[in-house]
Structure 1
C-alpha cells in the first residue's frame, strides 16, 4: 500500500471518534430529499450528506435505490480520505479510461488507488462507469476502514458460497463487525446508493480494539511509575497485556478517561523493578510496541563515569549527567597525588600547577588542561606510571552533588599526534595560519613549520591544540597554499605521523563581520558582549568604539571595555566606573549600547553598526561577612606564603577595599578587632602597632575573600576568637560601592587552618582485629575531625554496614590517633582471619578527606552463643537435641527436661555428645528410671519403676511427686528397658537450657550454650 499521511492513519485508528462526531450530527438531511422519507437508510444518508461525503441530485432527489458506479464510489471515498488529511499524489492514477479532463474523477481515482482502497482490473482499466457489486463493496469498505475479523468468528451468511473466493473473507469481516446484518448477503448484486450509505456509517461506528498503535505517549512519573496514554477509550486493562523488557510489572490501572470528544485513556503502570537512570524503555501492549511507547529515564543521581589522561597535558572527566559549569570548571577542586608524595592541588593563578578547565556543550565531559605536562618536573609522571586524580565535591546541573573521591589513573601516551586542519581568513591578505592538531604539541622545542616553503614562526593558539603560524609572506584571500610540518613531537615525545606532514589550505575570503551574538547585564554597572566570531580586540576596546547613551541622549561616561580571558577574543565586558551619571536619582536606567563600525573582526571586516538596549538596576545591598577562618603560620594560600598566618574573611559577594580599589596594599587596623576565648583583645598582638595592616590582599579567583596577614603569629593559648569588622571596611563592586554591614563572628577556630590541604593518613598496616572482637587502626593528623572517625557509617565489614550496637573510641597522643571499632557481642558468627574491613569518609577540620583504606586480613573470633534449636524423641526413648552450631560438653545440669508435666531430676539424666551423622554437634539425652522394692529387698511383685522428679527424695519413689511408670515384679531398674524410659512412657516432653548460670556446653570457639532456650518435642 502507498504511504498514508499521519492524519489519515489517525483517521483509521480513531474510527470511534469519527463515529461519535458523525452520530452527533442530527439526521435532518433526509427531509431535504423528496424520495428518502420512509427509507431504512434515511438516517445513514443524512449522516453522510451532512458531512459532505455524498450528495443528491439537482431535482431534489437522492435516488437511494439507484445503483452505485465505481466512479461514484471513488469520488465519495476520496472525500472521506481528503477530510482525514489524505492528499492526492502528484502523479495521477494513470488509468486509460479515466480522462484527465474529468478533474474530480481523476483526482478521486488517484486518491483511492494511493490509499489502497480501490484499484484497476487485470487489463489496467479502472471501469469508472461499471456498477459496483456488494462483494466488491465489501472489499472496499474493509480496506478503507482497516477492519479485522476475530479468529473465532463463525459466519451465519447462507449464500457465502455464491461469492468469489477472494471476497468471502471480506464479507465475513463486514459481518463480524456488524456492517452487514443480513444472513443473505447477495454478493453478486449491485450496491444501491442507500445501501452504500449504511455500509459506510456502520463501518465508521465499528469500535476498533486498542493496540500499541494507539499509544500516543509514555510519561515517567517516578522510578516505579509510568503513565501510558492511549488514543481511544479502554474500558479495562490487564497486567498481562503489558510488558517492559527487563522490568517486572506490579500492576496496571486506568487513571482517567478524557471527555468523550477526546477519547483518550491514561493507564498507570506500577513496576516492581525500579527503572534505571539514563536508560530508555519501550512499553509493549499485547506483544507490540511503537516509537511513541518509548520513555527515557533521566539521570537524577550524578556520578563520575570515568577519568583518563587523554594525553600528556589533558585529563578528561566524564559524568553521567549534565554538570554545573561553575562547579566543575573550578580547577582548585582537583589535585594530583603521586606515590609517596602528598597531594598537590591544581591552581588557576599562573603557578607551576596552573590549569584551566572547559565543559562540553552537553555538560557531561570536562577537559582539564595542565599548564605543565604530566611528564614535566612539576609532576614527574612517566609513561606507564599510575597516579591518583583527586576530585572535590561537585555539583550537577540538577543541584545534586557528587561526593569527593580519588580515582587511580594509569598514564600512557604512545599515540602520535596528527595535523587535523590548517585555516586562514582574510578580507584581502593575512600573514597568519592556524594549525589544529589532534592533541597539544611541543612547538616551542620541536618541529619546523613552513608555509609555501618559507619557514614560519609558531606561537600558542586560543585552543591548547592549536598553533598559530606567522609568515613573512602575504597570503591572499581565495588563494591556495601548502603548510608543512617536520619533526614535531607531542608533549610525551611521540613524533608526528606522517613525518613530515603537509596540508593544502585556501585562505577563506572573509569580507563580512558576523556581528553580535548577545548583550547581557552583569551586576549594576557591567555588560557582557558575546560576538559571533573572534574579533580584533584593539578595535573593540578602543575608546569611543562602544558607547553607552541613556534614553534622553546623555552619554554615560567613564566606560571601559576589556576582553574576557580564554574567550578567543569573542567575549568582552563593558564596565561603567565610579563617579558616573548612570543612575542619577533613579534606581534603574535603560541604556542604549551603541556598537560603531569602527569595530572589526579578526579579518579586518567592520561590523554593521548596531544598537542594543539594556536596563541597569542599582545595587543597594551591602556585602556581608559569611565566614572567618584562620590561615596558620607557615601555610600558603592563593599562592602566597604567610609566615605568621592570616585571617581569611569570606563575603557573600565580590568586594573592594575603599583605600586601594582592590589592589594589594594596606588595611586600616581600626576597622577590625580580634578577641580571644577569654575575652582578651588581641588585635595589637596579631597586627603591627601602626594604623594600617600591610600586605592585605583579595582572593585572586573571585575577589569575595579578603586576606589580612598577621604581623605576629597567634599565641598557642588562643583556641577560638571573636572577630569584629566595622561597617564599610570594604565595599562591593557595585557602582554605588556599598559598604559592608558591621559584623561580629564568634567561635572562629584558631586551631585549624583553611590552607590545610594535607589529608589525614590512615595506616593500612595498622588495621588489625583485637580482643573482644575489636578492630584497631591509627590515623596521623594534627587537626582531625573526630566526628567523622566516630561516625559508624564510615566503616564496612565484608562490604556491609557494621552490626547495630557498634561504636568507636579514640585515643589521641599529639597528631597520632589510635582508633578502636567495637563490635557488639554476638555479632561475629565465624572465626576467620580474612575479614574485609573498609574505612572511608575520615576528614580533618579543613575538609580534607583521607584516602579510602581497604584491608582483607582482619582476624575476628566467633562470639555467638550456640542455641538449642530442635529435639526429637527416638523409638528407644532417647532424646536427640540439635543446636545452631556444633556443641560439646553439655552436662545434665545444662538442661531442664519437663516430662508429662513434671521436671525430671538432673541426676536421672545422662547426656552424650553426638559426633557423627546428621546431628553432629548435638546431644543424645537418656532419662534413667528409678527402682523401689518397697523396702523388702526382694522381688514380691510390688516393685515400682518410676522417673525421679526434681524436688523429691533422690533415688526413692515419692508418691504424688515422681512419675510412676510401672508396678510389678522387677529385680532392679535394669529390668525395665535396661534402666531407661520407653518412648511409650512419654505423654508430653519439653527440653530447655537452664535459665541462669554459666552452662558447660560450648561451641568450638568456647562460647557457652545460651540460657533459657526451649523446644517442645511432644
Structure 2
C-alpha cells in the first residue's frame, strides 16, 4: 500500500520473521474479482472489490463470494494476517502453537500462520486459549479487531448515540464507541451480538482503512531545520496534497508549503517543506502545528551557527571558488578589496582589486559560494606566477546575510590546472530559425585559435555572457526542431589544456521556443528606474513602445520610457528608465501601475501576455557616498580598459553621473598635495558599473597610503532629484608591485615571404614590444604559435632581431621571424596565425593575437595509390590534384610487369595516359596496349590466333626476351588490343622522374621521385 496506518507503529514492536511474512498469505490479486453473486449495485460491492484488489479478501473456488454468508473468526484471522503483513508487521521468528484449537499440523496451514500473526499483533487474542476459527464473529468482537488492528482512538469527551450499547459485553463497549467516533459505523442500533456477513465485514474494514490512512499531527515523526527560512516536516503516512493554512508556527509567517518527498511503499513517509517569510532565529525552539494540533515531536531548535569560510580552491586556471557555511551579505561578497593575494614577490598581501581590477566576482543564488573569474589566467593575473608555485589567498571583512562578521580566512593555493575541459551542454533555441548556438563548458575556455563547424560550415566563435559560455554565430539559419552536427577544434582552457576530445564532435537539436515570456519580478530601483525580471532573455527593442506607467487615474506619467538590458543578467532583467516628472504626493510617494503590453517579445520573438503591476515609487532624497577605492597600477586594466599611467577607482553607494564641481584632491601620507598626479579632465563613469568613477593618473604613484578628497557636488545620483555628494575623504592604498604592463604583439605582420620554390621555405615577421623587455623563452617557443589552429610544421624555428632605435638589447622592441622549412605548406592561400602566451620579464602575458598571412604550396605531390579498375585499367592517385596529362607524362613513371622492368623510353610502345573522370577525377588512367599474333613464327594472320603480348620494342611482332608474353592460346582478334591487367601475374609502378607531372599550385611543384607501389 502507498500509506502507513498509525497501527504500524504498534506493529513494529513485533519480532522479525521474514520467512513468516513472506509466506503468510498467497499472491496479491492484481485486479478486483468479478463474483457471480455480487450485484454491482449492492451497497457493499465497491468495498468488496476494493479489498479484493488489495489482496485482503478472496472468493470461493466456484467463483462466488457469498456476500451474505456470516464470516467466521478463522476467515477474519486470515484477512487481518494479510492486512498486517502488507502493512509491514513482522511476526515471531518461530511459529509456535498460539491457540489450543489451531495445532501446528493443522491441514489449513494458512490459518496456522495467520493465527500466529494476529495473536502476536494483539488483534485477536481468543477466549480461554482458543481462537474458535469455525465460529461466526459477532459485531462486538469485530469492533475490537478493527480498533486494535488500525489503532483507532476516540476523543475523551465523545458522546455515543448508539441506543443498544448496554446489550454489549462491558469489555466491548468502548471498542464499539470508537468505531462510531471514527465513522466506521454510522447506525444508532449496533446489534452487538449479531454475527457479521462477509459483505458487511468488507465495508467495515474498508471504512477503517480509510480512517487509519488520515494523517494528523500525531503522525509527525521529525522536524528538520534546513536554513533560516526553511523547515522539513516528516509525516508517518501519505499526504497527497498540503495547504498553507493547515500549518502554523507561533510568531512566524509561513510563505509556502510543498511536498518534497511523497510517501512510497518502501518509506511510508511524506516530507513537507515549509518556507517562511519570517527568518528563524538561532537558538530558538519552534513548534509546528498541523490542522490545529501539535505534539512533542513537532518541535525544532534552530542551531547557533558561527559563519565561516568552509573552503577556498583554484577550481581551474582562471577561477577561484570560496564557499561559506551560511549565506553571505552580497555587498561585502562582491567587494574585490575583501580578497587578498600574496605571491612570493609581494612584501605584503595585495587586494584583488589591485592585482586584477577586471576580475569578475559572482555570488551564487543561495549566497553560499563566491566565484572569482580572473581577466586572464590566475598565474598571469596575480603577477606572473609560475604554474605550480603556491601563493597565499585571504578572505576578510565579509559579513553573513544576517550581519554577523565572518572570521578572516587565509590559505595557500596553487594554480596548476592539468584537467582538460569538457563540453557540458549545447543549446540553441528558436521560434522558427536562429543563427546562435550557446556552448557551456566545464570551465572557461579561450576563443583564440578555437574553430567550430556547424553542419560542416565554419561558425564565428565569441565569448558568452557567462565565464563558462561560448556563443557560436553561423551564416546559415538553423531551423527549430532540426538536428545539426557540431565539431569543435582547438578549444582550450586558460592553462592550455585542450578539450578532452579534440576535436569534439556531437549533435544538437534546435529547441522550438513558442512559449510566451513571464514576468517574475518587478522592482523599483530608484525613483525613476524600474527593473523587470523575466523567465527568459528579452528583446529590449520591444519595450519602449509597449510599456507605460499610469497614475491611479490612468494618466501616463513616464514621459516616455528608455529600456536597456541590465548587464550580466543574460537579457532577463530589463531596466525601464522613466523620462518624465514623477508627481509625488505630500508623503513623497507615487502609487501607480506599470503596464507591460503584449507587444513585448523575447529574443526568439514570442510575445508576452499583457500584464499590469502595482508600483510604489518613493522620492530619492539620499545623497551618494563613497564606499571604497581601488588603485590601478600603470599599464593595468580596469573594466576592459588599459591605463598606461594607472588610475584610481572611486566606488559610490549608487549609480552616479558627474555634477558641477571638479574639486578632487590627492594628498600623501606626509601631507604633501600631489593632486597633479590626477588627470581630472579625463575622469569617467565606469560604463560597466555606473557606481564607479575612474580617475586616470598622470604617472604611477609610489607605494604608501594616500588621502583622496572628493569635494561637494562632484557627482550626483541618477534619481529625479539628482542628489549631489557631500565632501568626504577616503584612503587609497598603493601596494609595492612589479611591472603590470602587458607586452604588445602586433596583429599585422611586418612582412610575409612565401616560398618561391621547393627549397626556399617561408618566413613570417611579427613585431613585439614591451616597456621592460620580453621573455625570449616564450617568444622562441614554437608551441606558442598555431597555423590554422595546428602546431607549426615540424622543423619550424624562431629568430629574433632587435630593432634599430631600441635603447638597449633587453628585447623591448623586437622583430620575431617565424621560419617555416621548405616543403611544409600544403596549399596556396590565406592562413590564420594564432600567437599566444607571449610574456615579458615580469610575467605579464600579452593579449592573444590573430594574424592573417598568405602562403604558397611548396609540397611535392606524391603517388599515393595505384589500383586496377573494374574494366582492367590502371588508375594512379596522388596526394593532391595534379595537372592534366601532357606529352611526356610517361617519362616520369616506370613499370615492372611480370617481373620485367620496362625501360622508360619504351613506355610509349605499351602504355597511354588519360585524365580520370567522375570518381576518378584528379587521377591518371593508364591503358596498357597489347598485341595478338598467330604463332611462333611471328607472322600475323587473321586466323589461328594464340599469343597475347606487350610489344615492348614496338616492332609489331613478338620477340622473346624483349617483349612480355601475357597469354598463349588467346581467342582475341589478331592485332592491337587493350590489355586487361587482371591477366598479369604481377605489376609495379615507380616514380622515376619529375619533369612533367606537377601539382596545380602557384609553384607547380613536381612530383616526388622514388615512390614505388606494388599493384599486384
TM-score with structure 2 setting the length:
0.47
Q: Which has the higher contact order (CA 8 A, sep 6+)?
A: 2
